[in-house]
Amino acid sequence: MDIKKVDLEDKDLIEDYLDIPISEIREVHNRLVFSYDAYLKDYGVKKLWRDELPDDCSDEEFISLLDAKELQLIFLYKHLNCLVHKDLVSAFVRKYIKDAALDQQVRHLGSQYFWYVLNKGAKIPNADMIVPSGYNYLVSIEMPNPKAVAEALKRTGRLAARNFTELKLAYANKCATCGIEEGKKDPRNELIVSLQQGHMTPRKPLTLENTIPQCQYCNQTYKDYFQFNEFGRVIAVNNPLILLKSPKDVQDEMITVLLKERENQ
């Protein structure tokens, strides 16, 4: 897929870029409202307009009622599936909101408002391309940002997950035990983190209820020695051979503890 760049370097085109008829802006607004209600609101994507936006007002009145964040999104929608430079988005907003900040923090559309806007470092779906610094890329207005899906799953907890992919989302794609994120480079073993299905209780089958996502490092370090809770914390010994790694005095204490416990039973 060839991805077009829309930025300030195309000096001749800047005016064209910024010149979107208000009738078209209104149309895009209606499209955003429809998509939001139909596909996005259940995921916690944030609305960018006021509820009481009148339908029968003049174009001038309409545009004056739009929020800066919505103007940003409208501009990105006009250049759907293009890399759009943030300064151009800010220039568009400032056309209508004169005192708007020079830097409009467009990246917040994705990270805080959960629209499917990608920015620096994100991989573009279906393309071998990473969004360069300073650019934004709107994937779709009909899908929430994957971060919103992760947050929604976090809210409903791990019980809502139907497969390992969803279970990982419930953990924000992080190792339950040490918190390292999938896809990052792990400095402890120099591997790219790929989350694995770790047992909570190693003696039980690896069903989804008995699974936590763990990075290679944790999975290999803890082996089958321990039982974990759903938060990835050690709660009990599973394989007594780990006791042999303990110092002699600790082993003696364990024997004492165990014998005492048995006597009381």
Q: Nearer Cβ to Zn ion, position 104 or 214?
A: 214
Beta bridge partners of 174: 181
Give me the residue label for tokens 């391309």.
Answer: 129
| Cα(207)–Cα(183) distance, integer angstroms | 24
> Residue 72 and residue 68: Cα distance in Å, rounded?
6
Closer residue to Zn ion (CB): 87 or 230? 230
**Which residues are at the interface with Zn ion (CB under 5 A)?**
175, 177-178, 215, 218
Q: Shortest approach of Zn ion to residue 196 CB, angstroms?
A: 10
Contact 218, 178 (CB under 8 A): yes
Q: How far is the CB of 186 from Zn ion (least distance, A)?
A: 8
Q: What is the spatial distance between Cα 236 and Cα 253, in angstroms, rounded to a whole number?
A: 16
CB nearer to Zn ion: give 72 or 177: 177
Instruction: Report the DSSP pairing between strands 191-192 and 185-186.
Output: antiparallel
Least Å distance, CB 168 to Zn ion, is 13
Q: Which is nearer to Zn ion, 138 or 215 (CB)?
A: 215
User: Can you count the helices (H) and strands (E) in the chain?
Assistant: 10, 10
Least gap, CB of 215 to Zn ion (angstroms): 3
